[in-house]
Amino acid sequence: MQLSNEELKVEIDRLKKKLDVTVVAHFYQRDEVFEIADITGDSLELAMRTKADDSEFVLFCGVGFMGQSVKVLSPQKRVVMPKIACCAMARMIDSLYFDDSVKFLNDNGIKSEDILPITYINSNADVKAKVGEMGGMVCTSSNAKTIITKALEEGKKILFVPDRCLGQNIANQMGLKSMIIGQEGDPKECDILCYDGFCSVHQLFTVDDIAFYRKKFPGILIATHPECDPTICDASDFVGSTSQLIKYIADLPVDQKVAVGTEFNLVNRLRQKNTYVLSSTKPECPTMNETTLEDVYITLKAIEDGAPINEIEVEDKTQKWAKIALERMLAL
Ligand code: 13P
Ligand code: SF4
């Protein structure tokens, strides 16, 4: 018999009280899932707060790389995911594509020892491990500028994977020269070499959407996530991670209109009035939306029954190097 959402919430509450489990959810989760979480936040906050949590089980509602990062940072924890949904951007790169990018730079006269790789946290553990082995580190949308500033002190070329938009946006903010690997340009002339990956959800926002809102509501502010195309971020009043966007909007006067360029569930939850989704389509993240309340219940029930499902495992060598790459970020 199928339980209603109200019945599921009661059961989830009972299981959470009984089991040694912390439920974690990213802002892009469906509202009903987000509401039952113990820890919520942007990617960086989730990585840090979950690392500090001491429950035996972490039930992670998000996309695969997020649950994997918890397991990498705290291998003693048992991490389960109601849906092991893979972020579309993380799926665009694996360790072989990473090696190809290094080879491309080598073929263009840049030696491996002169490359410092940085991977956006939206990548799988095998890519983080490659980055860690080459002396590089992880960044998130909220700390990318700090991490790149630090990395540049080594005087090397930065290989930034997998998000070309985040890489280019930070380069533009810092007045650095960037190019997308495989596209026109001389890599030797650039500070940041970006892998050609992107988020399909954040590609939905267009300059026409911005023009439409600016014309319709003179004085409106445009706030966007740095996974949006540089043309969008350059035309925005504020660019920030999910947490930074939430704070920026919360601090605005109630009558200030703002159009927000990030995932639908987050924007829809922001404010009752004067907040608009910066798109003519509904920018939902399909994989974040896969997790339902019923999935959470089934996953908790499996722990209660002593047979956890969808448990995250990371192979030892990958875990070791991916952890080093993540910890270099956390140390900063
Ligand atoms: P944040 O780190 O800003 O939460 O972003 C995660 C993400 O996947 C955005 O698409
Ligand atoms: Fe990945 Fe984009 Fe979804 Fe974020 S919004 S989880 S980057 S597919």
Query: Which regions of the chain carry the CATH code 3.40.50.10800?
Result: 5-86+288-313, 90-199, 207-277
CATH 3.60.20.10 applies to domain 207-277? no
Q: 123 in ligand 1 pocket by Cβ < 6 Å?
A: no
Give the Cα separation of 163 and 43 in Å (integer): 15
Sign of CA dihedral 121, 124, 128, 131: negative
Q: 295 in ligand 1 pocket by Cβ < 6 Å?
A: no
Omega before 75 cis (within 30°)? no
Residue with CA nearest ligand 2 atom 7: 199
Amino acid at 84: I
Give the Cα separation of 206 and 213 in Å (integer): 11
pLDDT tens for the chain, residues 1 to 332: 789 999 999 999 999 999 999 999 999 999 999 999 999 999 889 988 999 999 999 999 999 999 999 999 999 999 999 999 999 999 999 999 999 999 999 999 999 999 999 999 999 999 999 999 999 999 999 999 999 998 899 999 999 999 999 999 999 999 999 999 999 889 999 999 999 999 999 999 999 999 999 999 999 999 999 999 999 999 999 999 999 999 999 999 999 999 999 999 999 999 888 999 999 999 999 999 999 999 999 999 999 999 999 999 999 999 999 999 999 999 98
How far, in Å, from the CA of 122 to the mean position of ligand 2? 8
Give every strand in the sheet of 258-261, ordered side by side: 238-239, 221-224, 258-261, 275-277
Give the Cα separation of 161 and 22 in Å (integer): 31
Rounded to 10 degrees, the C-alpha dihedral 232/236/242/248 comes to -170
Residue 258 contacts residue 238 (beta carbons within 8 Å): no
Could you read off the pLDDT of 273-284 as tens digits, one per residue? Answer: 899 999 999 999
DSSP secondary structure string for all residues of 232-251 = HHHT-SEE--HHHHHHHHHT
Report the nearest atom of ligand 2 relative to the CA of 286.
3
CATH architecture for segment(s) 90-199 = 3-Layer(aba) Sandwich (3.40)
Residue 73 contacts residue 79 (beta carbons within 8 Å): no
Report the nearest atom of ligand 2 relative to the CA of 88.
8
Q: What is the pTM of this model?
A: 0.95
How far, in Å, from the CA of 11 to the mean position of ligand 1? 30
What the block records as the tokens of 48 is 């840090």
Pocket test for ligand 1, best of 86, 138, 139, 140 (most atoms within 8 A of CB): 140
The phi and psi torsions of 184 (rounded to 5 degrees) equal -60, 140
Q: 210 in ligand 2 pocket by Cβ < 6 Å?
A: no
Report the nearest atom of ligand 2 relative to the CA of 87.
1
CATH architecture for segment(s) 5-86+288-313 = 3-Layer(aba) Sandwich (3.40)
Q: 241 in ligand 1 pocket by Cβ < 6 Å?
A: yes
Instruction: Assign 142 to helix, strand or coil.
Output: coil
